[in-house]
Amino acid sequence: QKEVEQDPGPLSVPEGAIVSLNCTYSNSAFQYFMWYRQYSRKGPELLMYTYSSGNKEDGRFTAQVDKSSKYISLFIRDSQPSDSATYLCAMRDSGSARQLTFGSGTQLTVLP
Amino acid sequence: DTEVTQTPKHLVMGMTNKKSLKCEQHMGHRAMYWYKQKAKKPPELMFVYSYEKLSINESVPSRFSPECPNSSLLNLHLHALQPEDSALYLCASSQPRPGNEQFFGPGTRLTVL
């Protein structure tokens, strides 16, 4: 079993839809949770960063962390074609200061 | 400024060539990373430098040789690569404290013929 599971998709939604992307994990030591957006043939771009449980909102993006269920989500409201990309969840524990554990990535297409 | 720059953007090399990838950041970060990413896969960690010293080498073959000349620069020297080494090579940086987020560069797309 992988430490971090993420549905690879592909996921296609119409423009304006609410998108929900999710990851589950098995390591209860993970404390820091990140979402990266990666356009084709580009480097990952940090979208959201959350420590421990709770919600964080930034514009159309909301990140949720539920440590009791070992489940994190990224919601995208009013999705746009420019949101079409691969979304990677990543997480780390407080002891390992360097290494991120990535999900496999979800490929999202927002159709105009 | 949250920018990590990488050069070149694209590189094609033969198996007998020697080439280098370069990475630069001016965010004052003291941890820098090299990752390798194959198509439709997440990035795989190769090396970590913390305060200009190599702290993690993820059992990477010796044909990849990292170098950190100063706190802003990171190089990856390539020699005698194999076609299976073709991938997107990503540099990232962060503060070397737990939880500090990593910022990635745009990557170098490497093709080994």
* pLDDT at residue B112 in the model: 95
**In this structure, what token pair is assigned to residue B84?**
């299976």
CA distances for B38 relative to A103, B89, B90, angstroms: 14, 9, 11
CA distances for A85 relative to A13, A71, A107, B3, B67, angstroms: 12, 21, 6, 20, 32
B residues 25..84 contacting A (CB < 8 A): 31, 33, 40-43, 45, 48, 50, 55-56
Q: Per residue of chain A (112 residues), what is the pLDDT tens digit?
A: 789 999 888 999 999 999 999 999 999 989 999 999 999 989 999 999 998 888 999 999 999 999 999 999 999 999 999 999 999 999 988 775 568 999 999 999 999 9
Contact B104 A31 (CB under 8 A): no
